[in-house]
Amino acid sequence: MKTKDVAISGIMIALVFVLTFAIKVPVPFTRGYVHLGDSMIFISAILFGRRVGTLAGGLGSALADLVGGYAYWAIPTLIIKSVMGALVGWVSDSYRNKYSGKKELTIFLSSIGIWLAFSLTLSLFLKNLIANLTTSPLTNNLMNELGYESIEELENFLLNARGLINIILLAIPIALILISLFLRGKGSTLFRLGNSMGSMIAGLWMVIGYFFAGRIIVGNWVMPIFEVPWNVLQFTVGILVAYIVLFGLQKTKLFENSQK
């Protein structure tokens, strides 16, 4: 890497670390937390490409886990956030090199397909769990973890959780598409649908990655599901914050130089 790239990477690693470490909300279901650090990962990758996005995402986030008392998440975070930054950067690099409507349509349709497949799988899993609560080996564990004394209480909770998760998973792509179209109407090529959907799929990768990591940490497949809405909210807010910052940087030399 050039000296300039090393310096930029160092700055972005620091920014990811600060926003991840300084403002965090604990999530008891998987002993993790949500934060604003994803916004800096998106900015790093969109402005400076996949190499900077990979380094900033992986190292900045993992350092925040180590220093912030979540060391058991550091290795999963290093892997998950590195890939997340790489995915956003790859889409951004592909647009920077050469734009085509066919490429944008391919990224858009692929992203929507992957998102719908994930949403349907998660919804059906919860539906099956609710239908088999009386015989599921997970029931007692869930009642103990969540503090419920009857299957009826647990069933009501799971029904409400499934409904909320379904609404969130349906609303996110619609909201991102509308925001992208609105900002694109302002004349910026940065906010193409492909970029928005690429960021969404990178966020989905994070959700899935932490779901499997949570399975290892808490010991079952169900508790990590309740972190899904929090992680979806985290990367969605991260995208929105990143877009607000990038929109403000459009006419600066930093933005112009990053697009060359």
CATH C-level class of 3-258: mainly alpha
pLDDT digits (tens, 9 = 90+) for 136-148: 888 988 898 888 9
| Percent above pLDDT 70 for the chain | 94
* Region 152-174 average pLDDT: 94
- Most trustworthy range by pLDDT among 17-21, 95-99, 133-137, 173-177: 17-21
Contact criterion met (CB below 8 Å) for 118 and 204: yes
Q: How far is the C-alpha of 213 from the C-alpha of 231, rounded, in Å? A: 13
pLDDT at 150: 92
Of the candidates 23, 85, 50, 236, the residue with the CA atom closest to the CA atom of residue 77: 85
- H or E segment to which residue 62 belongs: helix 61-67
Does position 71 have pLDDT exceeding 90, yes or no?
A: yes
* pLDDT band, very low/low/confident/very high, at 31 (cuts 50, 70, 90): confident
Q: Any idea which residue has 């607000």 for tokens?
A: 244
pLDDT for 119 equals: 95
CA pair distance 235, 5, nearest whole angstrom: 25
Q: Is residue 193 helix, strand or coil?
A: helix
- Specify the pTM: 0.90
* pLDDT for the residue numbered 258: 60
Q: Between 84 and 247, where is the model more confident?
A: 84
Average pLDDT, the chain: 89
What is the per-residue pLDDT for 207?
A: 94
Check residue 254 and give its pLDDT: 65
DSSP string, 145-165: HHT-SSHHHHHHHHHHHHHHH
pLDDT at residue 122, as a whole number: 93
DSSP letters, 67-84, are HTT-GGGHHHHHHHHHHH
Burial of 144 (0-12, 13-18, 19+ CB in 10 A): exposed
Write down the domain spans for the chain: 3-258
Question: Does 241 score more than 90 pLDDT?
Answer: yes
Chain mean position to CA 227: 12
| Confidence at residue 7, expressed as pLDDT on a 0 to 100 scale | 92
Q: What is the pLDDT of residues 44-53, one digit of tens each?
A: 999 999 999 9
